[in-house]
């Protein structure tokens, strides 16, 4: 096995020899040549530049150029050149070693268990307080019988503990996990669902996720240098100079631009093909056309083709200017030229070469990426591009996707050589404001995720390679994209089975719906605990009323059976990232529970101490009949307690939002059973007596009347906690939502302004056109609508705001379809 250990050529004791890579130490001089895997982090010494494949570290498949003085990293592969280097780090201290160490050392504790523990502790403490008060009052003060006291304590324990909570929440997440798998997102850790619902930052890899990971030619930017030809001819010449079989990435890119790959050889006879080599840096084909004339076509590095064509100085300047312009936008340039071969032999030099054109090569965004990012922004999820590619390419991709170009190199995070413009900006602020980072390695990705988490963001991370594993493990939600490596899948929480980001947005919406169901139940559970503890404690202490524990058990069984159906309830996902806000959940539960407890006390007083119901509804007086009184209290508690779920599940008025049919059916069946028990049951062991349909009707009327204020309490609580109750009620938005939108409106308005400037449109006098703070009272509604329609129309006519204008229009409450029918430029 020792013979399989990687070896490298190293200078020891003044002599070169082959040694195992494991014995290298910092300071050793090693030799790196074509095909070698770099054995340790090293700095290149004097020599020619190398082409290094860093895909194992950055995920980018195209090699990068490393000049003398640059660092090369362990695990990367030499694709071209030969040079000596000095070792600067080995083992765990290398970039690759640090990545492996980060994966092993990362330990995350999920939010879900913390929430369950906190809610459970709150309920137990509430029950404990009630029990202590009852013991102190009933025995030392009221001198109650021992058995009566035990019965009352059992009522609090049986009815107050949310026994079904772990089951309901687990079933809800399990059903949600199945729904996500149907949408192309397989959940490895179920608790990741609730974290996905609260995700407000998504760090996305570029290659293969935002883009197709497939080079293409941007036809609109092709530069033509010969007369009487067009862009299609430039592509055709490039395709002829490409292989039609056994293609590399560039050959595939050029040939795929043709409507049919067979066009590359249509009407010609191939005589000789010169493949690409590192010296000439071009490919060439010698062929015979249909008239018997011989020609050559060549494509390759622009510098090589320019030298081959012997161009005039002004044409050379134009070429270099175009190449520089492409480079600034992150586009790779490919030159195409042709010549006649009058000698009609493949060995002949041929006539003068003529430059045909320059092709810009680019890894294009996925067709759905721009729309997906727009939807993500609209959902309050800020998308940051994290790529190992060059900064210029990252900015160009960001520009095309409409996600911004405020991007920085990886050196701004951990490097010592920072640009002066960002040298004084704290790393945390830089990460917060940046649209992305380029040239990143595993340690950089890990650091970005870590800083975002320290700033209290719920951070998601997508990745597909070994280099992404540390960040995937560290992130709150690690997402392995389609075709990810085993290492990435192992470190992730969710594995996608479909390419692109669109499936993530669908998963976010689904997870928010799942989270909404769980939050609805937790508010309900806390409310019921307070309602049972406070209500029955007051009855036991004020009137010395001993409610039978068996009937509380019946209430708990029926309630828990019904509440299980909430896992399939109809809900609307929150429009913004949602998360557990325990203070708000507890406050809402206390208010709802206290109100219901007071309503039960009032009902008991009205039945026992007055003849109100007897006089108004003609029912018999049961105030002195404890068994009938038990039945009446049982039915009232059962109805109003279970009906509370319709209040906690809705965002606005509970009778406006239609619940799931399964929940309604379960509620009706449970309350029918409860009503029949109260009407007919004469159970001596449970100390209840049938009260008849008259009293059942009275209790239902009482419960319905005092159910209505629950919605009002909901809005009052929301207003007291957030100050946004009425807006949420009108806009049908979820309570307790976190509205951290990263200045989405400002960013989109700024983008729209840039598009106006770019296309020569005059700046609007009022730059606050898209600002939510416009004073609508100062302008008539007609004038305001007309102004917005005109602004949107100008931009849409230019075909530049496919996604962004629609987003801004939606934010302002306009109907884009109506605008389309009326706008004019």
Q: What φ, ψ does residue 81 adopt, rounded to 5°?
A: 100, 175
Q: What φ, ψ does residue 67 adopt, rounded to 5°?
A: -95, 160
Instruction: Give dist(CA 471, CA 56) in Å, integer.
Output: 15
Q: What angle do CA 493, 499, 505 make, to 5 degrees?
A: 65
| Cβ partners under 8 Å of residue 550, min gap 6 | 683, 685, 686
For residue 95, CA distances in Å to 6, 75, 448 come to 18, 9, 16
For residue 689, CA distances in Å to 124, 209, 407 come to 32, 67, 75
How many other CB atoms sit within 10 Å of the CB of residue 428?
12
| Cβ-contact 567, 172 below 8 angstroms | yes
Known catalytic residues are 205
Instruction: Give dist(CA 524, CA 519) in Å, integer.
Output: 9
Long-range CB contacts (within 8 A, 24+) of 337-340: 337/237, 337/297, 337/298, 337/299, 337/305, 337/308, 337/309, 338/237, 338/295, 338/296, 338/297, 338/298, 339/295, 339/296, 340/293, 340/294, 340/295, 340/296
How many other CB atoms sit within 10 Å of the CB of residue 485?
17
| Cβ-contact 297, 240 below 8 angstroms | yes
Give the DSSP H/E element, type plus range, for residue 282.
strand 282-288
How many other CB atoms sit within 10 Å of the CB of residue 787?
15
For residue 89, CA distances in Å to 51, 92, 440 come to 21, 8, 18
DSSP 623-648: TT-HHHHHHHHHHHHHHHHHHHHHHH
Instruction: Give dist(CA 86, CA 675) in Å, integer.
Output: 85
3-state secondary structure of 404: coil
Q: What φ, ψ does residue 244 adopt, rounded to 5°?
A: -95, -15
| Cβ-contact 32, 39 below 8 angstroms | no
Instruction: Give dist(CA 407, CA 424) in Å, integer.
Output: 16
């Amino acid at each position: 096995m020792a013979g399989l250990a990687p070896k490298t050529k190293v200078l020891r004791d003044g002599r070169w020899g082959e040694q195992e890579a494991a014995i290298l130490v910092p300071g050793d001089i090693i030799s790196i040549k074509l095909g070698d895997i770099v054995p340790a982090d090293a700095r290149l010494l004097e020599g020619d530049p190398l082409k290094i494949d860093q895909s194992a570290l950055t995920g980018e498949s195209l090699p990068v150029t490393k000049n003398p003085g640059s660092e090369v990293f362990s695990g990367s592969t030499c694709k071209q050149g030969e040079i000596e280097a000095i070792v600067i780090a080995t083992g765990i201290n290398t970039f690759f070693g640090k990545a492996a160490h980060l994966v092993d050392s990362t330990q995350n504790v999920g939010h879900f268990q913390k929430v369950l523990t906190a809610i459970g502790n709150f309920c137990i403490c509430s029950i404990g307080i009630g029990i202590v008060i009852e013991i102190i009052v009933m025995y030392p003060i009221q001198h109650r019988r021992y058995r009566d006291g035990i019965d009352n304590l059992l009522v609090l324990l049986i009815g107050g503990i949310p026994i079904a909570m772990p089951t309901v929440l687990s079933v809800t997440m399990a059903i949600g996990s199945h729904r996500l798998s149907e949408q192309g997102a397989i959940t490895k850790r179920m608790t990741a669902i609730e974290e996905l619902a609260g995700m407000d930052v998504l760090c996305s890899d570029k290659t293969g996720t935002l883009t197709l990971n497939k080079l293409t030619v941007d036809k609109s930017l092709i530069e033509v240098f010969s007369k009487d030809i067009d862009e299609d001819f430039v592509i055709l010449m490039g395709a002829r100079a490409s292989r039609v079989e056994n293609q590399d990435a560039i050959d595939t890119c050029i040939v795929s631009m043709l409507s049919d790959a067979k066009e590359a050889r249509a009407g010609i006879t191939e005589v000789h093909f010169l493949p690409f080599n590192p010296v000439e840096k071009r490919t060439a084909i010698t062929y015979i056309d249909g008239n018997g004339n011989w020609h050559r076509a060549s494509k390759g590095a622009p510098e090589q083709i320019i030298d081959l064509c012997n161009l005039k100085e002004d044409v050379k300047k134009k070429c270099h200017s175009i190449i520089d312009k492409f480079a600034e936008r992150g586009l790779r340039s490919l030159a195409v030229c042709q010549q006649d071969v009058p000698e009609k032999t493949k060995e002949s030099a041929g006539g003068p070469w003529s430059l045909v054109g320059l092709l810009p090569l680019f890894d294009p965004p996925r067709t759905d990426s721009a729309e997906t990012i727009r939807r993500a922004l609209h959902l309050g999820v800020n998308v940051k591009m994290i790529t190992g590619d060059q900064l210029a390419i990252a900015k160009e991709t960001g520009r095309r996707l409409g996600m911004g170009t405020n991007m920085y190199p990886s050196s701004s995070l951990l490097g010592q050589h920072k640009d002066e413009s960002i040298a004084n900006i704290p790393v945390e602020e830089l990460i917060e404001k940046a649209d992305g980072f380029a040239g990143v390695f595993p340690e950089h990705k890990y650091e970005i995720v870590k800083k975002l988490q320290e700033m209290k963001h719920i951070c998601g991370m997508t990745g597909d390679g070994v280099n992404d594993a540390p960040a995937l493990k560290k992130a709150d939600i690690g997402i392995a994209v389609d075709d990810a490596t085993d290492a990435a899948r192992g470190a992730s929480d969710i594995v996608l089975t479909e390419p692109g980001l669109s499936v993530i947005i669908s998963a976010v919406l689904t997870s928010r719906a799942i989270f909404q169901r769980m939050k609805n139940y937790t508010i309900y559970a806390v409310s019921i605990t307070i309602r049972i503890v406070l209500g029955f404690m007051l009855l036991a202490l004020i009137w010395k009323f001993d409610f039978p524990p068996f009937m509380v058990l019946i209430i708990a069984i029926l309630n828990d059976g019904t509440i299980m159906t909430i896992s399939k309830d109809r809900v609307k996902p929150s429009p913004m990232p949602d998360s557990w806000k325990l203070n708000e959940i507890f406050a809402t539960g206390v208010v709802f529970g206290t109100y219901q407890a007071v309503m039960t006390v009032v009902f008991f007083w009205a039945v026992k101490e007055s003849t109100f119901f007897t006089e108004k509804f003609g029912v018999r007086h049961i105030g002195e009949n404890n068994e009938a009184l038990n039945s009446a209290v049982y039915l009232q508690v059962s109805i109003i307690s279970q009906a509370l779920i319709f209040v906690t599940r809705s965002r606005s008025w509970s009778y406006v939002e239609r619940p799931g049919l399964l929940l309604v059916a379960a509620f009706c069946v449970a309350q029918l059973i409860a009503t029949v028990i109260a009407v007919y049951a004469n159970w001596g062991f449970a100390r209840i007596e049938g009260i008849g349909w008259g009293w059942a009707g009275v209790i239902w009327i009482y419960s319905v009347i005092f159910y209505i204020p629950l919605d009002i309490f909901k809005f009052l609580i929301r207003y007291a906690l957030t100050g946004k109750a009425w807006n949420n009620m009108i806009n049908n938005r979820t309570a307790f939502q976190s509205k951290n939108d990263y200045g989405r409106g400002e960013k989109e308005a700024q983008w729209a302004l840039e598009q106006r400037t770019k296309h020569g449109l005059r700046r609007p006098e009022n730059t606050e056109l898209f600002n939510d703070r416009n004073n609508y009272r100062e302008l008539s509604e007609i004038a305001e609508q007309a102004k917005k329609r005109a602004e949107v129309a100008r931009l849409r006519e230019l075909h530049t705001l496919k996604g962004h204008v629609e987003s801004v229009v939606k934010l302002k409450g306009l109907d884009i379809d109506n605008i389309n029918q009326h706008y004019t430029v």
